[in-house]
Amino acid sequence: MEHQELLAGFIRLHVLHHAAERDLYGQWMIEELAHHGYRVSPGTLYPLLHGMERKGYLESRIERAGRSQRRIYKATPYGIEALAMAQDKIRELFREVVPGNSST
């Protein structure tokens, strides 16, 4: 993905947002991100999910899906708390960086 490093924080927050609402798995998240114009490969997303789990934002479990299995993620209480904090930061940043949105 282009500008991956720059946009990685957005992707993490997007993951956290959905993981706070409901369980998700990697392929679902890849498709969701694609709807928003982010082309993220499994090779990018899976390490990102693992990293977020390692940091305590997500927790996962293995679920059978036919003959294969998939890892299901959801946000932890720590992740939900971090998301709430990030929402304030996003709002604040949005006001500054998006033209025509200065509500000062």
Give helix then strand counts, H and E, for the chain: 4, 3
Q: Which residue, 23 or 32, has its beta carbon nearer to Zn ion?
A: 32
Secondary structure letter of residue 76 according to DSSP: -
DSSP E strands: which ranges in 15-55?
24-25
Could you tell me which of 9, 79, 21, 94 has the C-alpha nearest to residue 48? 9
Q: Which stretch binds Zn ion (CB under 5 A): 25-33, 39-47, 80-88, 96-104?
A: 25-33
CB of 55 to Zn ion, least distance (A): 21
Secondary structure letter of residue 102 according to DSSP: -
CB of 15 to Zn ion, least distance (A): 9
Binding-site residue total for Zn ion (CB under 5 A)? 1
Contact 75, 15 (CB under 8 A): no
Binding letters toward Zn ion, positions 36-75, x by CB under 5 A: ----------------------------------------
CB of 21 to Zn ion, least distance (A): 9
Q: Which residues bind Zn ion (CB under 5 A)?
A: 32
